[in-house]
Amino acid sequence: MAAATYSTNGLSLAIPDGNAAGVSSIITVPDFYDIASITLTLDISGAFNGDLYAYVRHDSGFAVLLNRVGRSGSLAGGYADTGFSITFDDAAASDVHTYRAGAFTLNGNGQLTGTWQPDGRGADPELSLDISPRSEFLSDFNNAPVNGQWTLFLADVSGGGGQSTLNSWSVTVNPVPEPSTVVMFVLGGLGIFFLARGSGGRRSS
């Protein structure tokens, strides 16, 4: 089975400025198979990136996508860029929290582009820094069933930076491979072989 993408577009969902209650968006997946790995795309426009906190939850899985990007001991407010048009991938080269520490690009709307590791910091957004431990990654969904509700939560946790807007998001899922026909045939044959040996494969004395 090939990778499948589940998405929602044209949301124009306002993220209230300075309101930790935030907003949520849900994608419901009707399919039934287990997850090998996922990536997630996010399109947010409008305001101060360093104010934003975002996570995705599904079943028992949980991953922190953004946690006050750029916030550090020397930059309490985080980065002042205006949005994201990015893909999150655990295997990406760089941590989104510190994207200005290396090579990065902004599009014409001032949004960060490219593919980045999720922030992964489980710290309270009021306390999150670049040095905070990272443990909340997309790999938390690996081997879980894909079906059901995927919930994206976003909050602007620091007022005065303007209002951001969630435009769209999507989840791309790589399924756990199903056993091939050849493997199933071999395993089935071995089962028949051992059953025969156990029940009638020996001559009586």
**CATH code at position 125:** 2.60.120.260
Residue 196: inside a domain, yes or no?
no
- CB atoms under 10 Å from CB of 82, counted, come to 19
Residue 192: inside a domain, yes or no?
no
The rounded distance, in Å, linking the Cα atoms of 40 and 6 is: 10
Report the length, in residues, of the chain: 205
What percent of the chain shows pLDDT beyond 90?
Answer: 83
**Residue range(s) defining the domain that contains residue 100:** 4-177
Residue 185: inside a domain, yes or no?
no
Claim: this prediction has a pTM higher than 0.85? yes
Residue 122: inside a domain, yes or no?
yes
Encode pLDDT of 94-149 as tens digits. 999 999 999 999 999 999 999 999 999 999 999 999 999 999 999 999 999 999 99
At 204 the pLDDT is 42
At 101 the pLDDT is 97
User: Torsions phi, psi of 188, nearest 5?
Assistant: -65, -40
Q: For residue 23, is pLDDT > 90? A: yes
Q: For residue 202, is pLDDT > 50? A: no
At 160 the pLDDT is 85
Residue 165: inside a domain, yes or no?
yes
Residue 199: inside a domain, yes or no?
no
Residue 200: inside a domain, yes or no?
no
Rg, C-alpha atoms of the chain: 23
Total count of domains within the chain: 1
Q: For residue 197, is pLDDT > 70? A: no
At 193 the pLDDT is 47
The rounded distance, in Å, linking the Cα atoms of 200 and 146 is: 44
Residue 205: inside a domain, yes or no?
no
DSSP output for 86-102: EEE-TTSSSBGGGGGGS
